[in-house]
Structure 1
Amino acid sequence: MDTRDDRTGADRTGAVDELSDRDTPRALGPLGSRPGNGESGKRRAAAPRRGAADPVKALLHRHRELCERAVDPLEIAAGLEAHGVTDRTAARFRHRDVFSLAEELYARVPRGGEQGAEPEPLPVPRVRRDWVLLSLLPGVLGGATVAGLRLTHGHPRLLAAAVGILAVALATRAALRRGPLAGPPGTHAWRTAYGTRAWTLWLLGYALLGDGLLHAAATGGPDALPTGAPDGSWPTAVAPAVALTLACAPAAWCAHLLSAGARRRLAGSRGLEDFTAAAKPLLFGTFALFLGALTALLLVCGTVLHEPVAYPQTLALGALLLLARLLTVHGHRHAPAVALGAAAATEAVALALPLAGGLPGCAVLTAPVRTLLDAWGETAVPALACGTAALALLFHAGRTLTRASAHAPTEAPD
């Protein structure tokens, strides 16, 4: 028997095994017989993979919608990766990696009468004046609100606080609808679930009022409402709140750097593993850049407002909010919602236990929180809650935001 023909059939079988039988029917010779030895077998071995046993053709049929709407082979590569196709899988289709397989799929789809036309590179996000100005607006309004609180007293102060908080909220919402914090056009990534918005508002409110309320609850209070002054019976952490509003600008810039850098690395990569290796330093570098900018803003706000600044809890909260936003922008919304909800629930329990301890026979409930406060103070609660959630999201982002499918204009991964 011709051993060369046997090797050819084995190689073909290894490629076809990756697909289902209905997608890749076995090749038959004339009149339904198998290819025989001799000249017919040689012609069969030398023929290109375009027949019924062509695995790439079956793969194209399975992902035809993805291949037809793609404007670049990189979109197909990212889409295949999102469907579980790896470089090892591409090797079974006789390609060195997913990128090479995507190029063949892209070339096989006719486009306006020109098959295999030279593709254009993925567009790199540009800096736009509108989102730059909108990212600065929350910080400007936050500073104006603090100035109004310092210049007013009594009922005018409460009115200034209410108007200022509303203005900052609307400005932040506008910043999340434009630019890199809003995601690609048409994805509506700024639209988050009501639960996620509630957890975020709770965490920001706790950063402003939580430490003072926890201290008052642990000492038998609170006896009065907050006055907006740092030296009141219910202290208000104004400096961290202003720093977080000012941090909207560096957050937008870091998101832009991540998106633009990932697109450039995606265009220059020849494999999924190559892109992941190049994207991880980019992700962690932009994350560290944001933490450095937030640290500088905390230092400036504390110095200008003459207030103590709790760096650990504010940095943990800022890191948590940034990672949650980045994951949401790139299509991963479940993990941010869980992390934000867990951090908010932890803070709520820490507040509820001392308040419930004031009831008859419930003094034992205050023991865990009191032990934590005696050891590290009120700032330990938000630092641990937000820090743990931020570390979990950082680990998740290291696995998801370093994939090609997270940065190409394809469907959301989840």
Structure 2
Amino acid sequence: MSDLEELDPTAPEAVAEGKAAVPVTEDNGPASRDAAAERKASPTRRGAGDPVKALMHRHRELCERAVDPLEIAAGLEAHGITDRTAARFRHRDVFSLAEEMYARVSRDGDTPLPTPPAAARVRADWVLLTLLPGALCAAAVAALQLTRGQPRLFAGVAGALAVTLALRAALRRGPLSRTGPDRPGPRPGAASGRTTPWTLWLVGYALLGDGLLRSALAGGPDALPTGTPGDPWPLTTTPVLALALACAPAAWTAHLLTVRARRRLASSRGLEDFAAAARPLLLGTFALFLGALTGLLTLCSAVRGESAAYAQALALGALLFLARLLTTHGFTYAPAVVLGATATAEAVALASVFASRLPGLGFLATPVQTLVTTWGAGSVPALACTAAALALLVHTVRKLTRASAHAPTEPAV
């Protein structure tokens, strides 16, 4: 039997034990509210037949540290308690149930009500860490330009390793971190997922994939890429450089979303009220990041003298940003699935070209050949990342407009 069924005041077991004497009713008017108030004030409500008190005991830490009813409602929502479940506790919705729990915590508990938490502040350490990947990537690109032969290979490997370590450090501090004192924990019951391998593949494809695909369709490649301008398997450094530099605006926009969402959480008077206010805030934050990435692509293209590849770079940037937003708020399964599916689609496109060289399998390369002939080699990652980003955007709007995504939840017991 689930936890909610155990607390159901209308369950047969509860009736047999004398724990429920009043049937569940909807709050449809003043008379119903008066009756609910009488039941709330009744001494029998605090005995063994008090289901709300049992619920408060189960979520004791949440009730003790909550600074308003909406924080309790967000925690209950995160634990799967819906308006239909709230009706079992003689309330019309989760927020009404949370209001009673908040009103009773000072009488039923010995812990005084805490003061509201201070808003998250900008810290110098995470600001510098988010600037580090872009700076190191720019240095690596410059080293590739200035070196030749074996030193170029060493510069490329060292640069890739340095950028990876800097990015890892940036994702462990500040608004892009998954854990921390001002970050929500993993959602209860949420499945974990690993996004690092898929992210590395997607960024690696942005650097090497287009050149490899063009070379494969032409019958190559005959050698590894050297990074020279005339290489038949050229590197595409502009999108990767812009994405590394975009780590800073990603952190700033994520910080902005956190601060504004918590302000909305404090001023909202219900879960639906918060969702209505959070939706334009989330979409505005997403648009702000895309605008910053577009500017960085334009700047890098002008400095490097290469194509900005707006379609594929913006699609990849949007996908990675949405995946990180979900991860920082405790939703890790969907980003791992979507990023994995996107990386698989790109790998299948490449594999189909090489498999078509086998006797009788020439037709396998036809779809990719058609795409590349019509829209260029960048159309393959652009289509894959755009479809994935749209799917993840819908999921993000559904998840991150819930109050439970922005309010801490009590530790699992």
> Which TM class, normalised by the smaller chain length?
0.7 to 0.9
Task: Please give the residue correspondences for 1:3-402 in structure 2 after superposition, counting only pairs within 5 Å.
Answer: 16-17=9-10, 21=14, 25-27=19-21, 47=42, 49-68=45-64, 70=66, 73-87=69-83, 89-90=85-86, 93=89, 97-109=93-105, 117-185=112-180, 195-402=194-401
RMSD value, Cα? 3.0
Shift in alpha-carbon separation, 1:45–1:231, aligned structure 2, 3 A = closer
Quick one: distance in 2 between partners of 1:340 and 1:247? Answer: 19
> How far did residue 183 of structure 1 move?
3.3
Partners of 1:181 and 1:326 within 8 A in 2 = yes
Answer with 1 or 2: which has the greater Rg. Answer: 1
Unaligned runs of 5+ in 1: 1-14, 29-42
Quick one: distance in 2 between partners of 1:46 and 1:306? Answer: 75
Shift in alpha-carbon separation, 1:242–1:337, aligned structure 2, 3 A = same
Partners of 2:70 and 2:269 within 8 A in 1 = no
Quick one: distance in 2 between partners of 1:383 and 1:316? Answer: 6
Shift in alpha-carbon separation, 1:232–1:315, aligned structure 2, 3 A = same
Aligned length: 382
Quick one: distance in 2 between partners of 1:211 and 1:44? Answer: 69
Shift in alpha-carbon separation, 1:24–1:71, aligned structure 2, 3 A = farther
Structure with bigger RCO (C-alpha 8 Å, 6+ apart) = 2
Partners of 1:339 and 1:389 within 8 A in 2 = yes
Quick one: distance in 2 between partners of 1:216 and 1:45? Answer: 75
User: 1:143-186, CA deviations, whole angstroms, 9 ceiling, x for partnerless residues?
Assistant: 11111111111111111111111110110001001000003416
Partners of 1:183 and 1:329 within 8 A in 2 = yes
The amino acid across from 2:19 in the alignment is P
User: 1:200-255, CA deviations, whole angstroms, 9 ceiling, x for partnerless residues?
Assistant: 10000000010000000011011222122344211211111100000000000111
Partners of 1:226 and 1:234 within 8 A in 2 = yes
User: 1:276-317, CA deviations, whole angstroms, 9 ceiling, x for partnerless residues?
Assistant: 000111111100000000000000000011011110100010
Secondary structure at 2:212's aligned position in 1?
Answer: helix
Identity within the alignment, %: 66
Quick one: distance in 1 between partners of 2:77 and 2:319? Answer: 27
| Partner residue in 2 for 1:36 | none
Quick one: distance in 2 between partners of 1:24 and 1:254? Answer: 54
Q: Which moved more, 1:333-342 or 1:359-368?
A: 359-368
Quick one: distance in 2 between partners of 1:125 and 1:44? Answer: 41
> How far did residue 73 of structure 1 move?
4.1
TM-score (norm 1): 0.84
TM-score (norm 2): 0.84
The amino acid across from 2:134 in the alignment is G
Unaligned runs of 5+ in 2: 1-7, 23-37
Partners of 2:253 and 2:288 within 8 A in 1 = yes
The amino acid across from 1:320 in the alignment is L
Partners of 1:72 and 1:122 within 8 A in 2 = no
